[in-house]
């Protein structure tokens, strides 16, 4: 069955090609049964585009908290996200942050004179991954050559390669054992602020926090306090709250903090992952099969 798809409001060529690669037909919105959305991310924009003939809407990001909070996500039409499509790229960034922290590269690379060796081995470190979706599962595989025991926080019941699996409601149990705590959970009302002062108190004083999810999952003021007090070893952040992090914020001046500007998913990987998701879902919709990356209205991810 040929699927009639509207790509827009920005008609991105790579997404148009992805639809056609699956045998779909790119059509004006009024004739479409599906929307591959790429625009300004305004929930009102998507809401205005949906008509009674639309059966499926593909969102361009893995995180859908903006649309979930606005009540845009519904059972009909079905909404899908890019969840899992960007997992390997973001996991690679998380690994790079941990290696940088372990080897103290953020200090050594900036040095202007010869100094003492403060690096340490990363191999064998215990890594707790809070949220084992596409990012977490990809990271487990990348950690295997380093011999890192992994504690996975997930409600899926299993996480191949992890030595221990902890349900999400008991995520704090994973913190005391970890040398690195990697936050890779979706942003929902339940996960906002899930890492704050009580959680930092449970972590080892040498442990590093690594956040590649959303900045709002970490209470920034509590993080600053924990770092100043020496309650944790450091923080490596690809995302912050607020974001972008303002000039002059205390985190910028801390030696044991690594900050990257929400760049864990390089643009080529972003477009490749999104295009692959679009092609797969156009084919699945045409075949009447369940779609990949379906968003639950009740869970918000």
Q: In the chain, where are the structural domains located?
A: 3-84+267-287, 87-259
pLDDT along the chain (301 residues), means of 10: 95 98 98 98 96 98 93 96 94 98 94 94 98 96 98 94 97 98 96 98 98 98 98 98 98 97 96 97 98 94 90
pTM metric for this prediction = 0.93
Smallest CA-to-CA distance from 187 within 218, 220, 156, 222 is with 218
Q: Give the model's pLDDT for residue 178.
A: 98
Residues with active-site annotation: 214, 243, 262
φ/ψ (deg, to 5) at 56: -150, 140
Q: Which CATH class, in words, describes the domain spanning 87-259?
A: alpha beta
What is the C-alpha to C-alpha distance for residues 173 and 198, in angstroms, rounded to an integer?
12
Is residue 195 within 8 Å of 171, Cβ to Cβ?
no
Smallest CA-to-CA distance from 250 within 227, 223, 224 is with 224
What is the C-alpha to C-alpha distance for residues 246 and 194, in angstroms, rounded to an integer?
22
Q: What DSSP state is assigned to residue 246?
A: P
Domains 3-84+267-287 and 87-259 equal at CATH topology level: yes
Q: Give the model's pLDDT for residue 36.
A: 98
Residue in the block written with tokens 């985190």: 251
Domain covering 3-84+267-287 assigned CATH 3.30.565.10 in the classification: no
């Amino acid at each position: 069955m040929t699927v009639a798809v509207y790509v827009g409001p920005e008609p991105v060529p790579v997404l148009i090609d992805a639809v056609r690669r699956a045998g779909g037909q790119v059509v004006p919105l009024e004739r479409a049964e599906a929307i591959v959305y790429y625009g300004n991310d305004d929930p009102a924009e998507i809401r205005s585009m949906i008509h009674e003939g639309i059966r499926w809407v593909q969102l361009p990001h893995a995180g859908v908290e903006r649309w979930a909070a606005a009540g845009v996500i519904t059972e009909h039409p079905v909404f899908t996200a890019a969840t899992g499509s960007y997992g390997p790229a973001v996991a690679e960034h998380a690994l790079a942050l941990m290696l940088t922290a372990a080897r103290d590269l953020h200090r050594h690379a900036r040095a202007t004179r010869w100094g003492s060796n403060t690096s340490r081995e990363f191999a064998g470190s215990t890594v707790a991954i809070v949220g084992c979706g596409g990012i977490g599962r990809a990271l487990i595989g990348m950690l295997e050559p380093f011999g890192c025991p992994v504690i996975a926080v997930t409600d899926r019941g299993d996480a191949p390669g992890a030595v221990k699996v902890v349900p999400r409601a008991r995520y704090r149990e994973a913190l005391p054992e970890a040398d690195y705590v990697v936050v890779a959970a979706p942003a929902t009302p339940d996960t906002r602020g899930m890492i704050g002062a009580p959680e930092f108190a449970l972590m080892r004083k040498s442990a590093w926090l690594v956040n590649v999810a959303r900045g709002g999952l970490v209470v920034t003021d509590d993080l600053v306090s924990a770092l100043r007090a020496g309650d944790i070893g450091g923080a490596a952040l690809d995302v912050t709250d607020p974001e972008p992090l303002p000039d002059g914020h205390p985190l910028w001046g801390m030696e044991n903090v690594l900050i990257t500007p929400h760049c864990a998913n390089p643009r080529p990987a972003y477009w490749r992952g999104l295009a692959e998701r679009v092609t797969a879902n156009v084919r699945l919709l045409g075949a009447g099969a369940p779609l990949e990356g379906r968003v639950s209205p009740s869970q918000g991810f």
